[in-house]
Amino acid sequence: MVRGKENVSSVSNVKKSPMDIFHMARKNNKAVYVYDKEEIAGVMLTVEQYEDLLQQTKKAENSSEKVEINELNQKIKDTIPMNSIISAKNLDEKLSSLGFQSKKNTEEDYAYLTMMLEITETGKIDYSLKKKEDRRNISAEVIGEQTNKIQTFDKLLVKKILLRVE
């Protein structure tokens, strides 16, 4: 299955003169497929072509990351309406359902007091997304304030939620 006569070579040609293969790749501005009999054994590129390929891959990864963050941001907006009053427990359960680490101490004990102190002192509650295989840290910053409109102390007004990738 030969790809095209202008960008193919054989393993024996590579052994004889590898620089000729690089010149072919540069001249045709495309990779050279190296065959061993009728099977592709590898591909040869110039340094420029390789670096361009790495740059394209990085752009695709960044684009994919932006899509992932945008999707997560939309899920948060769908789950937790901005400018809404929500209990600390409900906030924690909703963010946990989206993959963020819970503030829950044990099966029965939520860290309501800690969460409410955090939002009162700093104006925000920080959540971390459980680590993914790519080891990026994604965090959500819940910006809001404790509300006095309702008699219970564990209610807060969620003003906005910001996502960060580190």
* Stretch (H or E) spanning 64: helix 47-79
Torsion region of 123: left, alpha or beta (phi above 0 gives left; psi -120 to 50 gives alpha): left
Mean pLDDT across the stretch 117-125? 90
The residue that leads in pLDDT, 73 or 130, is: 73
SS3 content of the chain, % helix, strand, coil (to 5): 45, 25, 30
Residues 41 and 88 in one domain: no
Give 38-89 pLDDT, tens digit per residue.
899 999 999 999 999 999 888 877 777 777 888 999 999 999 999 999 988 8
Is residue 62 domain-resident? no
Residue 102, in any domain of the structure:
yes
Place of tokens 């209990």: 87
Say whether both 41 and 92 belong to one domain.
no
Residue 109 belongs to a domain: yes
pLDDT of 116 reads 84
Split into its structural domains, the chain has a count of 2
Tokens for 129, please give them: 């997304």
Is residue 103 situated within a structural domain? yes
- Residue burial 129-149, b: 16+ Cβ < 10 Å; e: rest: beeeeeeeebebebbbeeeee
| pLDDT of 80 | 94
Q: Measured between alpha carbons, how far is 79 from 75 in angstroms, rounded to an integer?
A: 6
pLDDT one-digit tens code per residue, 71-82:
999 999 999 999
Cross-strand partners of 100: 129
Q: Tokens for 134?
A: 């790519």
Tokens found for residue 37? 């009999």
Q: Maximum distance among all alpha carbons in the chain?
A: 85
160 and 98 share a domain?
yes
> To which H or E segment does residue 74 belong?
helix 47-79
pLDDT at 1: 46
Range of the domain at 24: 5-45
Residues 151, 84 within the same domain = yes
